[in-house]
Amino acid sequence: MKPRVVILGGGFAGLWSARTLARRARAGQLDVTLINPRPTSDFHPLLPDVVGGRVRRASATYDLRQAEQRWALTFRQAEATDVDADRRVVKTTDGDVPFDHVIVATGAQTNVRGRGDLRAHALTLDSARNAESIIRTATRDPAAAFVIAGGGPTGVELATNLRLRCWPHRPRIVLAEFLSRLCSLLPESHSRYVLRNVRRMDTDVRLETTVEAVDGSTVVLCDGERIAGARLIWAAGVAPGAVARKLPRGDRNGRAATDEYLQAGEGIWAAGDAAGFVRPGESRPIRMSVQHAIGGGVAAARNVLGAIGGRDLQPFRPLDLGYIVPMANGLSCGTALGVPVFGAPATALHYVMSGFRSQAPGKTAGVLTDALSSYLDARRFNSRPPSAHDASYNNP
């Protein structure tokens, strides 16, 4: 019988695993099954652009049924609920799926921290479907206020793209960040650049501020301010799902603990945001990012092939090429190969990288065309005088 490889999750890590296994699957040497709850895969880095209208939803999603023929696999639309290491089956909402090797690539989802008010009333941005909900809300009432909780890259990108979406209406957009600076994982100079730019786009930035409560119409901040008629968008952190946490080697900050080969148990592998891989000599798992998900997906699949073929496993050596925080007025920032990049070149890098990481040549062209046609949109913000929110900013 052919070895059965089951991939859980059709995101970056899962699809790059599938690509890596495809040659052997096409040759009839492997049976590969891909399991994902929805029929499409979302390209997360472009979701803020979808909200802003700069990239079409179609350019930011990939139909997983196309993967069947392309990478010689079977796609099953279901949600994995557990990996039974003893019985060698994945339990799913569509029955048990037997495996010889399983790659857990279930990513991470917005973490509402068990708060019922957030579950009931907050919007999130972790799927194309949720991006559509935000667009619908903004379109229905473009003058209504928004409060975005979380001043990391997602919150920042979203705030600037909401401004673009609502234009020429100018709703109040509040960005609440618990820490004393935005994008706190970035160097201070980058945080200052981001702060200046989001304020330039009329965002009311509240540092050292949390959202205390929300109902259908009011958001309450920790300083007691009640923002009436506001919708809350929760962008304050993500957490991997239960499948990753329950794997045999246990979990690392909620991510599946793996060894240096991305092995999380006998014949069980993990990659991407779901994997708590720690570089030798470090104490924290590598950051959640597309580049590490792609690298991890490829490395896990290669080790599956190595294990099947009785060859030595290869340690995962993630490369950090950098990051970009893309903002909707085209003034982005980040680093590339250790070199700081600001402004239009950073924005161009965001789109070029997104285009080339897309799953099909047609998608690459779609992303790049969308990006080009949005260029003029972005320029109109930069030609405006500074907004009221710039006043409190001291240029360093």
Ligand X SMILES: Cc1cc2nc3c(=O)[nH]c(=O)nc-3n(C[C@H](O)[C@H](O)[C@H](O)COP(=O)(O)OP(=O)(O)OC[C@H]3O[C@@H](n4cnc5c(N)ncnc54)[C@H](O)[C@@H]3O)c2cc1C
Check binding of 288 to ligand X (CB under 6 A).
yes
Of the candidate spans 29-37, 189-197, 247-255, 380-388, the one that interacts with ligand X by CB under 6 A turns out to be: 29-37
| Rounded Cα–Cα distance for residues 122 and 160 (Å) | 19
Among 122, 293, 299, 327, binds ligand X (CB under 6 A): 293
Q: Which residues have a Cβ under 8 Å from the Cβ of 221 and sit 6 or more positions away?
A: 147, 174, 176, 206, 209, 210, 211, 212, 227
Whether the CA torsion 282, 284, 289, 293 is positive or negative: it is positive
Among 5, 6, 7, 8, binds ligand X (CB under 6 A): 8
- Compute how many residues bind ligand X; rule: CB under 6 A: 34
Minimal CB distance residue for ligand X: 11
Calculate the alpha carbon distances from 315 to 239, 266, 277, 278 in Å.
25, 16, 11, 12
Whole-number minimum distance, CB 154 to ligand X, in Å? 4
Q: Which residue, among 295, 294, 334, 337, has the nearest Cα to 316 in the 3D structure?
A: 295
Whole-number minimum distance, CB 168 to ligand X, in Å? 25
Among 17, 20, 33, 106, binds ligand X (CB under 6 A): 106
Check binding of 371 to ligand X (CB under 6 A).
no
| Rounded Cα–Cα distance for residues 194 and 198 (Å) | 6
Binding marks (x or -) toward ligand X, 329..368, rule CB under 6 A? ----------------------------------------
Helix pair 12-26, 290-309: axis angle to 10 deg: 30
Whole-number minimum distance, CB 139 to ligand X, in Å? 19
Check binding of 45 to ligand X (CB under 6 A).
yes
Calculate the alpha carbon distances from 74 to 9, 64, 236, 319 in Å.
13, 10, 35, 31
Among 107, 267, 285, 366, binds ligand X (CB under 6 A): 107
Of the candidate spans 3-11, 136-144, 310-318, 379-387, the one that interacts with ligand X by CB under 6 A turns out to be: 3-11
Element (H, E) at 257: strand 255-257
Whole-number minimum distance, CB 272 to ligand X, in Å? 2
Chain positions 222 to 281 lying near ligand X, rule: CB under 6 A, are: 241, 243, 272-274
Whole-number minimum distance, CB 73 to ligand X, in Å? 14
Check binding of 205 to ligand X (CB under 6 A).
no
Query: With helix as H, strand as E and coil as C, how does 30-86 read?
Result: CEEEEEECCCEEECHHHHHHHHHCCCCHHHHEEECHHHHHHCCCEEEECCEEEEECC
Count of Cβ atoms closer than 10 Å to residue 170 Cβ: 12
Residues that bind ligand X (CB under 6 A): 8-14, 35-38, 41, 44-45, 47-48, 79-80, 105-107, 125-126, 154, 241, 243, 272-274, 288-291, 293
